[in-house]
Each structure stands twice: as structure tokens, then as C-alpha cells.
């Protein structure tokens, strides 16, 4: 569908405010969409119901965050419980993963590699939101949630490789190929 209203390089926010497509809030909205799309791809490739459920919950949370930011808090807002869930779930996955050697090279299985892409995209979203703080109000809970998101996705990738029996590749400066 198209309206032609964006043909001049402007668009509407969730609160019906007209802004340039280069504005901080639209940049954040675009990165939320990007992360959500990669999460959807990971969800479609994932073999395990528990991780699929996590990814779906994060997708829902990102929609809430997007609505909270673009509608200036006039609609749904992220609940504190969502951050608590994420921290608890990350620790559960860490328990399953066991000892992790740093630094893991992204990859291994296809799903782990894809989860690493989700992780890096979530970091890009986080940096975009931090940058947007100069122009729009960002609640600390949103920043905390986005900061934890990359940890959750990292643990998903490690657990995915473990469940598949794929050994992680560890970065070593002295490695010979």
C-alpha cells in the first residue's frame, strides 16, 4: 500500500507528528524493524520450541518499544517484568551452555550464525537508541532491555551449537589455517 505522503522525505510518527525520514525516531523505528525481521528469520529456522518462544516474545517486546517511542508513551509501554524475564532466561541458557571460552567466532551451525546476526543487529539498534537520546526521551528500562537483548541472543547462539553438537570456533591470534 502507498499513500504518497512520504514522497517528500517525511513521514508520520505514532503520535501523528510529521518528521523527516532522517530523524532519530525514524532511524530507531527502522532498526527495530530490521532486528524484528532477522528475529523472524531466526524463528523460522529454529528447531527448539523454547528458543522460538523467546524469539517471539522479543519480537512482541520490540513492537511495544517501537510503539512506546513513536507514540511518545501514549499507548503500550515496556513493563519491568520483561527485563526481569530476559535476565532470568539468559541465566538459564548460560547454565545449559556451561563454561564459555572467549572469544567465540560467530558461526558454527546455520541457526547459531543467524542468531549472531540478530545479536549484532540488536547492538546496532541499541547504539541507535542511545544516539537518539539526544533528540527524544528514552526511558532507562528501554536502554537496559536493549543492552540485555544481545546477551540473550548470544546465549541462544551458544546453546544452539551445543544442542546440535557443533563445536564453537574460538578466536586465537596464533591460529594457523
Q: Is residue 1 part of a domain?
A: no
Q: State how far the Cα of 79 lies from the Cα of 60, in Å rounded to an integer.
A: 12
DSSP 62-124: HHHHHHHHHTTTSS----HHHHHHHHHHHHHHHHHH-S--S-EES-SSHHHHHHHHHHHHHHH
Indicate which CATH number applies to the domain containing 59.
Answer: 1.20.1200.10
Q: What is the pLDDT of residue 50?
A: 98
What the block records as the C-alpha cell of 8 is: 517528500
Q: What is the pLDDT of residue 21?
A: 62
Q: What is the pLDDT of residue 100?
A: 84
Contact 125, 34 (CB under 8 A): yes
Q: Is residue 176 part of a domain?
A: no
Q: Is residue 4 part of a domain?
A: no
Backbone phi, psi, residue 22, to 5°: -95, 5
Q: Is residue 111 part of a domain?
A: yes
Q: Is residue 145 part of a domain?
A: yes
Residues 6+ apart with CB under 8 A from 80: 141
Q: What is the pLDDT of residue 41?
A: 98
Q: What is the pLDDT of residue 172?
A: 77
DSSP conformational letter for 34: H
Domain count, the chain: 1
Written as tens digits, the pLDDT of the chain (177 aa) is 777 766 777 767 666 777 676 678 888 999 999 999 999 999 999 999 999 999 999 999 999 999 998 886 667 899 999 999 999 999 999 999 988 877 888 899 999 999 999 999 999 999 999 999 988 889 999 999 999 999 999 999 999 999 999 998 888 766 665
| Per-position b or e across 25-59, b if 16+ CB within 10 A of its CB | bbbbbebbebbbebbeebbeebeeeebeebbeebb
Q: State how far the Cα of 95 lies from the Cα of 22, in Å rounded to an integer.
A: 42
Residues 6+ apart with CB under 8 A from 48: 160, 163
Q: Is residue 177 part of a domain?
A: no
Q: What is the pLDDT of residue 26?
A: 81
Q: What is the pLDDT of residue 94?
A: 96
Q: Is residue 93 part of a domain?
A: yes
User: In which domain, by residue range, is 135 found?
Assistant: 10-170
Q: Is residue 175 part of a domain?
A: no
Amino acid at each position: 500500500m502507498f499513500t504518497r505522503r512520504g514522497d517528500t522525505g517525511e513521514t508520520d510518527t505514532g503520535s501523528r507528528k510529521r518528521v523527516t525520514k532522517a530523524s532519530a525516531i525514524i532511524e530507531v523505528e527502522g532498526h527495530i524493524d530490521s532486528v524484528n525481521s532477522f528475529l523472524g528469520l531466526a524463528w523460522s529456522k529454529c528447531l527448539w520450541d523454547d528458543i522460538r518462544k523467546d524469539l517471539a516474545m522479543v519480537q512482541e517486546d520490540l513492537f511495544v518499544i517501537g510503539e512506546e517511542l513513536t507514540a511518545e508513551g501514549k499507548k503500550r509501554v515496556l513493563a519491568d517484568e520483561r527485563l526481569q524475564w530476559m535476565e532470568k532466561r539468559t541465566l538459564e541458557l548460560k547454565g545449559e551452555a556451561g563454561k564459555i571460552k572467549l572469544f567465540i567466532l560467530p558461526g558454527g551451525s546455520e541457526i547459531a550464525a543467524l542468531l549472531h546476526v540478530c545479536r549484532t543487529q540488536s547492538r546496532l539498534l541499541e547504539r541507535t537508541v542511545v544516539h537518539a537520546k539526544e533528540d527524544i526521551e528514552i526511558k532507562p528500562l528501554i536502554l537496559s532491555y536493549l543492552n540485555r537483548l544481545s546477551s540473550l541472543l548470544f546465549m541462544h547462539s551458544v546453546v544452539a551449537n551445543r544442542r546440535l553438537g557443533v563445536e564453537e570456533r574460538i578466536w586465537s591470534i596464533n591460529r594457523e589455517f
